[in-house]
């Protein structure tokens, strides 16, 4: 029974869960809270075991009967389904969630927005006023201005999230400079992003989490970033 699901959901593969809120007869995705887990075992064609999410060293006890969007990596594609927590327990020192699929597994078309957890060094700075005009007309930015260090904690073809010991203003435009290994070669990316949200981490005062959306990104570079994500995801699965 599990053969069909096993073609697409790989034990050890990363899972992303986003809570579904039901109201007024509709489902609404709560984008602000994303939990990350891993597949332990495919039990049947519509049931699997996954690890209990751990965030900041603490177990996240997702409630039984809680409903979630689940996202899995395939081969150059992201698969998505709806699922419900039907049980949770500890087995051989591992905290386990049993998930029942409540919808068919399907290709997730907006793969450029699938976020991949990572830890990548990044340098950044806020754009000068004249550079903001240059971005709108896709002209070159000013060179050699000082950059500040940070760490990317997840990345997608649509943007990234990073943490730093400083905070940019929401809606400001920033230059993001980082390196990815694409097709066996190290490549530098210098992308402009708009800061969508900034939050100070509760457990680390003075450290700020930034959510950034790319602005006028070159389509080829976006595709390279997506390819990097899938390549790294396959390494994790293996």
When the pLDDT of each residue in the chain is averaged and rounded to a whole number, the result is 83
> Smallest Cα–Cα separation from 68: which of 84, 52, 53?
84
HSE (side-chain half, CA atoms, 13 Å) at 154? 16
pLDDT in tens, 94-119: 899 999 999 988 887 666 677 888 89
Tell me what pLDDT residue 30 has.
41
Sequence-separated (6 or more) residues with CB below 8 Å from residue 119 = 151, 152, 153
Domain chopping of the chain, boundaries: 3-109, 113-237
Give me the architecture of the 3-109 domain, per CATH.
Roll (2.30)
Instruction: Compute the distance between CA of residue 42 and CA of residue 22 in angstroms, rounded to an integer.
Output: 27
Which whole number is the average pLDDT over 50-73? 88
**CATH number for the domain running over 113-237:** 2.40.10.220
pLDDT in tens, 141-196: 666 678 999 999 999 988 999 999 999 999 999 999 999 998 888 999 999 999 99
Instruction: Compute the distance between CA of residue 62 and CA of residue 89 in angstroms, rounded to an integer.
Output: 11
pTM score, two decimals? 0.64
Judge contact between 150 and 162, C-beta under 8 A: yes
Residue 120 has pLDDT above 50, yes or no: yes
What is each CA distance from 33 to 1, 68, 178, in whole angstroms? Answer: 32, 11, 26
């Amino acid at each position: 029974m599990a053969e069909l699901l096993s073609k697409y959901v790989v034990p050890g593969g990363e899972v992303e869960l986003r809570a579904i809120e039901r109201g007024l007869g509709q489902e609404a995705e709560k984008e602000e809270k994303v939990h990350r887990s891993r597949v332990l075992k495919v039990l049947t064609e519509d049931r699997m075991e996954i690890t209990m999410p751990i965030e900041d060293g603490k177990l996240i006890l997702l409630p039984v009967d809680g409903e979630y969007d689940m996202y899995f990596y395939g081969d150059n594609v992201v698969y998505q389904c709806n699922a419900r927590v039907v049980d949770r327990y500890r087995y051989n020192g591992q905290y386990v969630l049993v998930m029942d699929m409540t919808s068919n597994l399907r290709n997730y078309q907006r793969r450029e927005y699938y976020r991949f957890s990572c830890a990548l060094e990044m340098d950044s700075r806020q754009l000068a006023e004249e550079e903001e005009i240059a971005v709108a007309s896709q002209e070159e930015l000013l060179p050699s201005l000082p950059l500040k260090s940070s760490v990317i904690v997840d990345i997608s073809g649509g943007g990234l999230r990073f943490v730093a010991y400083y905070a940019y203003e929401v809606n400001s435009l920033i230059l993001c400079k980082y390196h990815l290994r694409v097709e066996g070669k190290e490549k530098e990316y210098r992308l402009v992003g708009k800061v969508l949200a900034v939050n100070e981490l509760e457990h680390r005062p003075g450290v700020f989490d930034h959510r950034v959306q790319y602005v006028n990104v070159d389509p080829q570079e976006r595709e390279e970033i997506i390819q990097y994500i899938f390549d790294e995801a396959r390494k994790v699965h293996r």
